[in-house]
Amino acid sequence: MNNQEQTSPSDTLTRLQYGERNYLIIGTAHISRESVLEVQHHISTESPHRVCVELDQGRYQALNQDQRWQNLDIFKIIKEKKAFLLLGNLVLSASQKRMGMDIGVKPGEEMKAALDTAKNSGIPVSLIDREIQTTLRRAWGMSGFWGKNKLLASLLAGAFTTEKISEEELEKLKDKSALQTMLEEVADYLPSVKKVLIDERDEYLAKKLFLAPQPNETNILAVVGAGHVPGMIRWLDELHNQKTDSEVRAIEVIPPPSLLSKAFPWLLSGFILGLIIWGFISGGSAQGFTNFGRWVLVNGTLSGLGTILALGHPLTIALAILGAPLTSLNPTIGVGFVTGLAEAALRKPRVQDFEHLQEDILSLKGFYRNRVTRILLVFLFSSIGSALGTFIGIPLLFP
């Protein structure tokens, strides 16, 4: 098949031709005013048979439902162990929205422009991105111990950053060479996360774009983040030259934990309990109770301190201090589960917390003011405190 690639002087347009099928891929910056205008212009002038956008069903609904956060059930999220996912989702949303505020553009505005322009022109639309929850869970599941810590640190830094970005700097992010440099930095720092967030989605987007057109649709326009364009081109080449298949099931599933990762919490709990019991055997009841007291003091104090840093309710702080030494010995439940539910019950989120959630996640003060995000901070900081207490407390149990 013939493959012809052309790029405009702005380096944001890529034209590909494979036999009778023609693609126009617009590489955008997700908070760029120029990207919004460019998308509207090309859909109107090119009159494609189909428009494909880098959205999943959840984000599509988010763009069209301003009140979506009011349906959030924080108790259900904590019980289903999705608090980390929600926090990560909020931080990613806040980072883009914060940058967009600097230049007066809402995150995803170019995607909404593509949807609206296509709808007004009677052009069918396809959503071609992977579900964000799947992406986040795969990124977490495919990260090792230190990778998870780096990812957690990145999320915390992103939640509270005050960094500004100019429109000129933003437009540079659509340049492929600048993006390549940035992605190489991500790969060096968090290779597993880069693989999930960029490489896998390049594949997913290209395969969904390949499958989207109906038999009579030959001119396809795609709106995607500029960072995905080079990878998508490579995958489209392979798909049209029949060097690979269009199956995406392998990158849609959540990787199951390895045998070691499943066994590690139980082995660690057994090891700690063994050290405490050994204290009673080798040193008598006095030494045994001394060791147990050290464990309770260190683990409970650090978890309680984390809850204090999150400005948790006094009763939640007490539960963290009392519960952390016990939950750290029970692999089936974490102290964050206890403190998160307690904080949610003691300080139930109000209607105004859900209404102002999108604005409150933009600042450190807002994170603490809003009861929804404060519950998540209590969950997170009490868990971090207990984890630190575990690794600090273990050496104190040795004779």
pLDDT tens, position by position, 247-282? 988 888 887 777 887 888 899 889 998 988 888 888
Average pLDDT over residues 361-384: 88
What gap in Å lies between CA 259 and CA 236, rounded to an integer? Answer: 36
Do 217 and 190 touch, CB atoms closer than 8 A?
no
Both 236 and 293 in one domain: the answer is no
In the predicted structure, residue 22 carries a pLDDT above the cut 90: yes
In the predicted structure, residue 21 carries a pLDDT above the cut 60: yes
Both 156 and 193 in one domain: the answer is yes
Give backbone dihedrals phi and psi of 121, rounded to 5 degrees, phi first. -95, 0
Mean pLDDT of the chain: 81
pLDDT at 162: 56
Both 234 and 300 in one domain: the answer is no
Both 240 and 133 in one domain: the answer is yes
pLDDT at 357: 77
Average pLDDT over residues 199-225: 94
Domain that holds residue 113: 4-251
Average pLDDT over residues 235-257: 88
Looking at 216, 251, 286, the residue that finishes a domain is 251
pLDDT at 8: 42
In this predicted model, what pLDDT tens digit does every residue of 328-357 receive, in sequence order? 888 888 899 999 999 999 999 887 887 777
Q: Report the DSSP beta bridge partners of residue 28.
A: 225
pLDDT at 177: 47
- Whose tokens are 């007490």? That residue is 318
Average pLDDT over residues 81-92: 72
Both 231 and 305 in one domain: the answer is no
In the predicted structure, residue 180 carries a pLDDT above the cut 80: no
In the predicted structure, residue 72 carries a pLDDT above the cut 50: yes
Average pLDDT over residues 113-129: 94
What gap in Å lies between CA 337 and CA 352, rounded to an integer? Answer: 24
Q: Per mean pLDDT, which range of 55-64, 148-157, 212-221 is the poorest?
A: 148-157
Both 263 and 170 in one domain: the answer is no
In the predicted structure, residue 192 carries a pLDDT above the cut 90: no
Both 232 and 84 in one domain: the answer is yes
pLDDT at 364: 80
Do 385 and 320 touch, CB atoms closer than 8 A?
yes
pLDDT at 332: 85
Looking at 207, 231, 251, the residue that finishes a domain is 251
Both 222 and 301 in one domain: the answer is no
* Number of domains the chain contains: 2
In the predicted structure, residue 174 carries a pLDDT above the cut 70: no
pLDDT at 352: 82
DSSP one-letter code for 313: -
Q: Which of 52-66, 69-83, 286-300 has the highest mean pLDDT?
A: 286-300
pLDDT at 221: 97
pLDDT at 179: 45
Both 236 and 265 in one domain: the answer is no
Both 241 and 336 in one domain: the answer is no
pLDDT at 167: 55
pLDDT at 40: 93
Confidence of residue 80 (pLDDT cuts 50, 70, 90): confident
Percent share of the chain, pLDDT over 70: 78
Both 206 and 88 in one domain: the answer is yes
**Length of the chain as a residue count:** 399
In the predicted structure, residue 60 carries a pLDDT above the cut 90: no
- Whose tokens are 């600090």? That residue is 392
Both 387 and 264 in one domain: the answer is yes
Looking at 209, 231, 251, the residue that finishes a domain is 251
Q: Which of 78-87, 143-152, 276-285 has the highest mean pLDDT?
A: 276-285
Average pLDDT over residues 2-18: 65
Confidence of residue 231 (pLDDT cuts 50, 70, 90): very high
DSSP one-letter code for 49: S
In the predicted structure, residue 176 carries a pLDDT above the cut 80: no
Core vs surface per residue 286-300: b (16+ CB within 10 A) or e: eebeebbebbbebbb
pLDDT at 93: 66
